[in-house]
Structure formats: C-alpha cells, structure tokens
Structure 1
Amino acid sequence: MKAAKDKRHHIDSGTAASVLKRVIAENGKDHVRGYIFAILCLVAMSLSTAFTAWIMESVVNEAFANKRADIVWWICGSIFLAFLLRGFATYGQAVTLSKIGNNIVARYQQRIYRHLMALSVGFFAEKRSAQLAAQLNQNISGIRDVLNLTVTSTARDLLTLIALIAVMVSKDWVLSLIVFAVAPPLLYALRYVSRRLRAATRESVEVNSQVLGAMQETIQGITVVKAFTMEDELNRKVNRIIDTAERRSNRIARLSERTSPLTETFAGLAISSVVAYAAFRSIYDNIPPGAFFAFVAALLMAYDPARRLAKMQVQIERAVVNARMIYDLLDMQPHQREKPGAKDLVVKDARVELQGVTFSYANGGPILQGVDIVAEGGKTTALVGQSGAGKSTIINLIPRFYDPTEGRILIDGQDIADVTRQSLRRQLAYVSQQPYLFEGSIRDNIRYGRPDATDQEVEEAARLAYAHDFILTQPMGYETPVGENGMTLSGGQRQRLSIARALVRNAPILLLDEATSALDNESEAAVQKALDTAMRGRTVIVIAHRLSTVVKADKIIVMHEGRVVEEGTHDVLAQRKDGLYARLNNLQSPEKRI
C-alpha cells in the first residue's frame, strides 16, 4: 500500500515537472529578452530589500548610539536610493511579465482554435460546446501562470530570501540557526497540502465549466426555455451545479489558506524565540543592539518572500492542473487523419458513388448497412425515407465529417479517403436544415462561401438565391450585422443567405439537407425557387421531407432502416402499389411531412 502511494505521488510530481518543462520549452525561447529584463528587475528588488535590512545596524549604532550626524545623511540617502531603485524595478518587472503573459495567452488561444478546427465533427458531437468553451476560458491562464509564478518566485522571492538570510547569518549565526530549525516541519506540511489541492482544483475547474456552460446554453435557448416554462426546472438544475461548485471552491479555499496558519504559527515561534534570545543577551551580556535590530529587520522582511514561497507550490499546482487540461486537448489527435501522400481531388463529371457503405456512430448500432448509391454528374439525386433511415448520415459522410466503417465513397472514381479533406470540401457546397450565420455583416456571411469573391459576385449570388431584395430593405443593406446566429432575420431569410453562400462557392457538388423542412409555405416557396437556381448544372444530393419538392429529381432513392429499398423516378416509384415511396406519397398532403 505504501509503495503504491509513494509511486502515485512520484507520478504526480513528475507530471507537474513535465508540464513545467514543456511550458518553458514552448515559450521560454520566444521571450528570453523579456524574462532576462524582468529577472534583472527582480534581482534589483531583492538586493535593495536586503540592503535596507543590512543598513539597520548602522542606523541604530551610528545614529542613535554613537550620534554621528555626518554619517546620518549618507545612511538616509542610501535608503532613499534603495527604495527608488526598488520602485522602478517593481514597475519594470510587473509590466514586462504582464506583457509576456498576455502574449502567451493570445498565442495559446490561437493555437487551441486552430487545433479545434482540425478535430473531427465527432469530437464536437460528444462534447457540450458551451461547457468546452467555458472550460477553455478557465484553463488558458494556466500556461501563463506557470511561467510567471516560476520566474517571480525564483528571481524575486527566492533571491530576496537568500539575500536576507545572508544578512541574518552575517549579523548573528546563532539566531539564524534558531530560525532554520522550524523550516523542515513547515515544508513537509506544505507539501501535504499541495498534493491534496491538486485533485480538488481539477474537480473545481470541471464543475465551474458546467456552471458557465449551463448559463450559456440557457441564454442561447432562451425562447425555448420561456416557451416551455422551463425556468423553475432549470433553476433547480443550475442551482444544484452551483452548490456543488461552491462546495468545491470552499474546499480549495480551505486547502489553499491552510498555509496561512501554518506559516504564521512557525513564524511566530521563530520570531519570539529570536527576541527572547537577543533580549537576554543584551540584558546579561551588554551586547550593542545594532546587530540585533538588523537581524530582526532582515527576519521580518524575509517573512513575506518566505510566505509567498510557501504558497508558491500550492499556486503552481493549481496552474499546472489548468495547463495540463489545455495540453490534454492540444495532444488529442484527430480521429480522421490524412493518408500519407494524399492527393488533391480532381473533379470533372462530379459523379458521386457509394459502394457497400456501412456506418455506425460510437457506441451505437449500425445506421447504414451496405449502401450502394450512384449520383450521376450534373443531375439531382433525392434521398427520401422516414426519420432514422440514414439519409442525413449519407450527407455527413460525403464531406468526410465521418468516415464509413466499411465500404468506399468515390467522386469521379477517386476514393475520398485517399484525397485531402480540404480539396474534397472545396468541391462541395452545403445547405443544412438549420442555416448557421456567423457574427458579422450579411455580406461577410455570404462571402464565407468563397473568401476571394468580389462584392459583385456576392450580390449576384444573393440575386440568384432570391435574397437581394430583402437585403436591400435592411437598415444597412449588405453591411447590416446579422446578430447572434442571424436572430434578427426570419427563418426563410436565413435559409436564402445560406443558399447564397453555397452559390458563391460555385462548387460542382451541392448537398441539401432538408433545406425547406423548417419553413412556412410562403418562405418555402421563395427558398425552393432559390434552390431550383442553385441546382442547375450541378450534381445535387438532396434530402427532402416534402416529396413535392423532389418530384422533378432525376433519381429518387428510398431508404429504410439504413438500407436502399427502392430507386427510380417519381412517376415510376409512385405507381408501385406495394412500394414504400408510393405509401409515403399517398399519406402526404402539401401540409404533411413524413
């Protein structure tokens, strides 16, 4: 049992050391000059502090005992210069370390964002986005704190403590031994506290991220919350999480501040012992008090850096936990990796083919089972079927949001698993059931389809999507901000902007995932006209709940429970009396959906 416990502590210590080593390796080189300047400032602070304690002997003996007025001016001038130097050094190191820390935070924010963009859709499907964002917000400062705490504690507090100890030893080595006698028990107690704090800090970060995540989700879904009168239930849920977070934070506070009574107790014991020893020597041995005053001054000045160093391990542990959680994310490898030597996709006819495709999500049953589909180039292929048939999964597999468990997907005979994802997705345009608009103007959101599109091309795409007229009615036209996820626009308007974004991309393959299912009849009519324009001359794979929107498709593929059960045109399939499509067609009226 003891061996296992010791091994666990060794592993934990190694983890903290490895994180610190990695942080320094990744950031130290880029900020060498800044850290050197900050360290020089911290050294100046340490030496000026030690000088102030050292000169106390001359103050007491020469000014008060010997009453030498000629030396007083030199003593006072040197003390003033020491404080002046310390003031400028404090300013210099604080500004420099803040600048370095801010740069480190910015760089890791950029790095994490790039890494998140490289992770697969599956990662985000398994993570709550609001909680992930909240957790990253808390963890990102860990990298900065690890470096700054290490520099300030080493260059300022440790050097100051060493310099003051040197003053203490030079003044009275016996008194110094009395002080050092209480140090080992204090260090052991602090090490015990820091080990317990490590696990509590990680738990606190996770719980606090749940609190922030729950609040963010409530804000984003406030209309649903109010529509379903969910306020009381969500209040109870969030209050439970907040209570848990409060208990975790209180536990961390108890552990973190446990260093205060420890250090104060040991400091009180040391100082009272020193005063007693020095007082009796002055009373019975008639020793001048100058050295004692200098020693006490050094001892009292050493208390603050010693206290900060005592807390440093606790603070480092908290920073390392946050940094470790950041590195856990950065070290996460994307599930979908490019094959060595992957080439760019070359599209001529834009023929899409699925050969024996089988797929299942993680920890789930099969969604697709041996699916064979051919979408001819330049034609429209519609996927229909009841919910859960696997239609949307096919749409998700073509851009490689996920990879098939078995089988292949070919575009013009090229296996999409053998080409780069960027080249594949550049040949695709995508319109989802729920169009997503990003922060920025209407023009910006359309141009996301092709960043190098000119203003004329953006406006032409809007005209083809039947969006130009309503855009001009907005307060600032194309420069009108869309609000969070386009909430200032109607569903039909957002969808037409999404179609304009697909049109400006000018890709040969168009994927439509139930692009009109959430719209009213009037909006659907406008969006359908835009879709008819978008589909001309392209290979289109479209999912539709309303069969009336796909009656003109060149091919309709009917799916059921992950399999293709029927295939043909609307006229052919509608005449099969025992067919699934015919049954769905008979059930459906213009107002109904399957």
Structure 2
Amino acid sequence: MPSPKPSLSDEHTRGEAFRLLKRIIAENGREHVRAYALAVAAMVLVAGTTAFLAWIMRDVIDEIFVAGNPAMLISLPVAVFLTFLIRGAATYVQGVVLSRIGNDIVARYQRRLFSHLTELSVDFFGENRSAQLAARISQNVTGVRDTLNLTVTSIARDLLTLLFLIGVMIWLDPVLSAIALLAGPPIGIMIARLARKLRKATRQSVDLNARVLGAMQETAQGIQVVKAFTMEAPLRERTEKLILAAEERANRIAIVTERSGPVTETIAGLAIAGVIAWSGYRAIEYGHSPGAMFGFITALLLAYDPARRLARLQVQLERALVNARMIYEILDLMPRQADAPGAPALAVPRGEIVFEGVTFAYHPGDPVLRNVSFTAPAGCTTALVGASGGGKSTIIALIERFHDLPQGRILIDGQDISTVSKASLRSQIAYVPQAPTLFEGTIRENIRYGRPAATDAEVEEAARQAQAQEFILAQPLGYETPVGEGGATLSGGQRQRLSIARALLRNAPILLLDEATSALDNRSETLVQAALETAMKDRTVIVVAHRLSTIVNADQILVVDRGAIAERGTHDELVGRPDGLYAGLHGLQRTRAENAPALEETR
C-alpha cells in the first residue's frame, strides 16, 4: 500500500526546520570551524577504526583458526590492539571538543538572550510572566547546542561509520549486503511519521514545564504572603494540576519516541537472522569461507548501532529544533521602542519638561491619560497627587519612555523624547520607584548601579544623604554586606533608602520620585525628606506623592483625576479652594493626623 503524500503543512514545517538548521549553522559554524574540524577528524578515525575491526575479522578467522598461520599470532592481535587504542583516543578527543563547543554555544546564547531581553520594552515583561520566561529560557537554551552536536555527530560519526561498514559488507559479500539493507526504507518511513507527531507534543511539554518551574519560583519569591494567607493548599492543588499535565505530556513524548524501538529491533532482527541463515547455508552447502561470513556478520552487528542512532536522528533533532525555535522566537522580537536611525543624544541644559496633548492607554479603548498637557519648569518641583489609578505613575513611566505615545508629545528642553536615543534620555534622569528594587550583590554594588564610575567615597556620600549610613554600618560587613534575593535581608524602609541613594549618586538634572517615601516609617521619612530636599535643589523634580505633607513646598501641584489634570497650583492656592479635590484630600489627611494620637492612646 503506498504511503500517504506529505501535506502542504508538513512540507512547510520541513522547510522551516531546514531554514532554522541553516541559520544555526550560519551563526555558529564559522565561530567553531577549527574545533569542529578537529572533532570531525576524530569521528572519521572512530568510523574508520570501527570498519577496520570488522574487516580484519576475516583474516583473524581464516589465517589463525582455519589456516593455523603462526606468523599472524602477533601481527593481527597487535593490529586489533592499536585499532582500539586509536579508537579510544579519537573518542576522547571528539567528546571533549564537542562538549567545549556546546558549552561555549550555551554561554553565547545566554549572553545574547540577556542582552536582548534588556533591550525589549517594558510592555514585553508586562505581557509575559517573568518566572515562566526564566524557566522557558533555561530549558530552551540548550536547543541550539543539541541541534549542532546531533548534526555533526550524525554526519561525521554515525553516517561515516555506517558507510564504511556497508563498504566492508559489500566488499565481503554483495548479496548478503542487499538482504541486510532491505530493512532501511520501512524504518525511515516509520521514523518520519513519528517525528511529525513528536513536534507538537514537544512544544507543549516545554510550555508546561516552564509553567511548573514558574509556579515554583513565584511561590518561593512570595513565601511570606503564601504563609500569611495560608495559601499552601490552593497553590499545591494548582501546581499539582500543572505537574500532572506536564507528566502526561512527557509520557506521551516517551511513548512516541520509544515507539520506534520495537519496530526497529524487529526489522533489524529479521534482517540479521536472514543474513546468518543464508550465510550459514552457503558455508555448509558450498564451502564458503567462514572468515568472510564472520567478518560480514561483525560488520553488520557493528553497523546496527550507528544505523539505529541515525534512524532516531529525526526524532531527536525535532526535539532540539523545537527548543531552538523557541529561543529564536525571543531573539527575533524587535524592541517596540527602538531608536530611530541616527537618533541624536538628548541635551539637557535646563531640564524643562512639557506634556502636549498626551493620550495613552495600556489596552485599546481604555485610556489611562486623556489629553494631558502641563509644563514642569526647569529647576522646580512639580508634584502629582490624586486617587490611585488616576495616571500619576504612568506620567513618570512616559517621561522615562517606557512606552511610546499614540497621541501627543513629551518635550525636554524643546526636544521630543521620541526622536532622541533612549540611553541618552535615561542617563539624564534619576528614578526612585514606588517599590524599591535591589539586585543580587552587596550594598555598595547596588548603590553604585546609579553611576558605575563612582568612587567608594561618592557611594558612601550618597548613602549618607539618603540617611542609610547608620543601618549600613550596623550590618555585619558594612557596605560589603550581601543584600540577598531582592534585598530579602533588609527591611522595606532600608531597601527604599538604598534606592534613593542610588538615585542621588546618579546626579542627574531630572529627578523622578514615584512615592519614594511610601515604605518609610515616620522617623525615616523625616530624615529622607530632608535629604531629598537637598537633592532637589537646582534639579527638575517630578514627584508622585501620597502624603500631602511631603509636597507642601512644591513649586507646582497637579491633581490628576481619571487621566486628566483636574487642578493645578501651589499648596496654598489649592487649599484655598474649599470645593476642590486637593482641599478634600488635604482635609481628610489632616483629620487622620489629628486623630492618630487618640487612636494610639486607645491601643
């Protein structure tokens, strides 16, 4: 019965796989051409010595056991020993060289991925869960290495070994060779069908495993919340479902992958049994040389392993290509906020910031900002206040150009920030986020991220200005104390003061504060507020404030309500409008402050 014709989708998929393989070779082959040449030379030696062992078996049987030639008792064993010696050395060289190439490829792609991820826009990380992204990358990054190594070893070692052994078999007995080679076509057809089934299952398995690892990472990062809200049981139940799904998909892959084993063994067994029966019949009936028969069977048995690996190559290569393809899906993503060709650097002689008719939405049809226009004068402090969700933090993000505008413009000293390079824009801005973020390393390293070229004295001066010196020196190793994962060894207020120190060290003309004192207690807030007032001098400052007491002296206060500027003025001007939003917020906070001592006494 004729096999079904491949569908257009199958042909497209094979073409895509070929293009991906070509790309992988083009990106990595030239870099490692000498190392691959050495590995291929070693594989050729392995293939040649394997074929030689089969070929020499004829002389071993005929000259020693049949003819009884004593002269061969030394030369043939020595030849076999030297063959194994060369084969062992070549196998060692091949293994070491391929491992070093593979490790270098993994390291190169890890560097490429990290560099590319840092170039992608904030939107990408908002749309992709970071834990799953990290887990997916850790699984997929070996796909390129495996693809290359499988290709090289299959061609240079397995294919050459098989061809050399087939050559020995044909040299010894062409008829028996034809019988043995009949097993090839049915095995090839079966493997092609299995590879098509495996492709989809492998991708699903990678996604599921990434979700499992992502769930575990998120649980570890939020373990205090998990325990505080007794979330262990529901999280275990949710993760258990993911694990079961991943296990089921892995079992499916194992079934599909190993399905070739019984069929391959059966067909190969029939071929080998037929060869033994036919060669034995000819030896008994016609007196054919037992050495030639033994050499042929040796070559056939030695050819079985490389033939089996080649038969499984498409299945293994398909799995490696799925992982490689998922890596390239990330590498091929273009940053949404790419710099325009030849974008100039931003020059900030004064630091004036102007919003002109800015409208912005994270999701189509749901604008966060609506036709926002205002000017933040150079060297002055502009405060943004209002209810949560009104768009204050979005204004800060847009100044940093974390998102591009569909409508309106943002100007700094008359320059549209969408036309200048992002690096030059952000180098002129110091930023303190609402949630302090620390990175793996020491306290000194985390502050120095504000300006990597800063001296130790400048780092310590920034810490003093941020009122962080006292608790830093109380740490076991002072400035060299590791902060732990995300600053886990420090309190929220301590992390925020280090974040402020990092911004102060940057010494930029524009300072953005997104509720920078929200995580501080009253004492720390008082100290840091004094430091911030010093740091704000001669800088353009935009501050998002929750506590109105911290912005009483701001040069300009903008009340942001439902994506629009509802009120603007100084503190005294806005308080003087009894029906205004700012006056209402101020009155509410003042009432709370007046009642705080009574509440404390009651406690």
State the TM bucket, normalised to the shorter chain.
over 0.9
Q: d(CA) in 2 for partners of 1:22 and 1:392?
A: 42
Equivalence for 1:377: 378
Q: d(CA) in 2 for partners of 1:529 and 1:224?
A: 33
Q: How many residue pairs align between the two structures?
A: 591
Give how far 1:475 is off. 0.9
Equivalence for 1:488: 489
Report if aligned partners of 1:343, 1:420 keep a CA contact under 8 Å in 2: yes
Report if aligned partners of 1:358, 1:367 keep a CA contact under 8 Å in 2: yes
Give how far 1:473 is off. 1.2
Q: d(CA) in 1 for partners of 2:6 and 2:467?
A: 69
Equivalence for 1:507: 508
Unaligned runs of at least 5 residues, structure 2: 594-603
Equivalence for 2:600: none
Q: d(CA) in 2 for partners of 1:364 and 1:316?
A: 45
Q: Mapping of 1:79-478 within 5 angstroms?
A: 79-363=80-364, 365-478=366-479
Q: Mapping of 1:475-554 within 5 angstroms?
A: 475-554=476-555
Equivalence for 1:69: 70
Report if aligned partners of 2:62, 2:289 keep a CA contact under 8 Å in 1: yes
CA separation of 1:229 and 1:364: change in aligned 2, threshold 3 A? farther
Give how far 1:524 is off. 2.5
Report if aligned partners of 2:500, 2:516 keep a CA contact under 8 Å in 1: no
Report if aligned partners of 2:437, 2:499 keep a CA contact under 8 Å in 1: yes
- Between 334-343 and 237-246, report the one with greater CA deviation: 334-343
Q: d(CA) in 2 for partners of 1:272 and 1:3?
A: 30
The SS at the match of 2:251 is helix
Q: d(CA) in 2 for partners of 1:171 and 1:77?
A: 23
The SS at the match of 1:69 is coil
Q: Mapping of 1:17-96 within 5 angstroms?
A: 17-96=18-97
Any idea what the Cα deviations from partners look like across 1:426-464, whole Å, max 9, x if unmatched? 100000111111111111111100000011111111111
Q: d(CA) in 2 for partners of 1:482 and 1:368?
A: 37
The SS at the match of 1:366 is strand
Equivalence for 1:585: 586
Q: d(CA) in 1 for partners of 2:6 and 2:354?
A: 58
Report if aligned partners of 1:499, 1:530 keep a CA contact under 8 Å in 2: no
Report if aligned partners of 2:354, 2:373 keep a CA contact under 8 Å in 1: yes
- TM (normalized to structure 1)? 0.98
Q: d(CA) in 2 for partners of 1:529 and 1:467?
A: 13
- TM (normalized to structure 2)? 0.96
Give how far 1:29 is off. 0.5
Q: d(CA) in 1 for partners of 2:61 and 2:238?
A: 66
Report if aligned partners of 1:16, 1:320 keep a CA contact under 8 Å in 2: yes
**Identity rate of aligned residues, in percent?**
59
Letter in 1 for 2:181: F
Give how far 1:531 is off. 2.1
Equivalence for 2:596: none
CA separation of 1:43 and 1:590: change in aligned 2, threshold 3 A? farther
Q: d(CA) in 1 for partners of 2:492 and 2:310?
A: 59
Q: d(CA) in 1 for partners of 2:136 and 2:412?
A: 40
The SS at the match of 2:7 is helix
CA separation of 1:590 and 1:170: change in aligned 2, threshold 3 A? farther
Report if aligned partners of 2:356, 2:373 keep a CA contact under 8 Å in 1: yes
- Between 360-369 and 539-548, report the one with greater CA deviation: 360-369
Q: d(CA) in 1 for partners of 2:584 and 2:575?
A: 8
- Between 209-218 and 471-480, report the one with greater CA deviation: 471-480
Report if aligned partners of 2:356, 2:372 keep a CA contact under 8 Å in 1: yes
CA RMSD of aligned residues (A): 1.4
The SS at the match of 1:566 is strand
Give how far 1:259 is off. 1.7
Structure 1 stretches of 4+ moved >3 Å: 2-5, 589-592
Any idea what the Cα deviations from partners look like across 1:69-91, whole Å, max 9, x if unmatched? 11121110100000000000000
Q: d(CA) in 2 for partners of 1:402 and 1:123?
A: 11
Q: d(CA) in 2 for partners of 1:590 and 1:127?
A: 43
Q: d(CA) in 2 for partners of 1:254 and 1:591?
A: 67
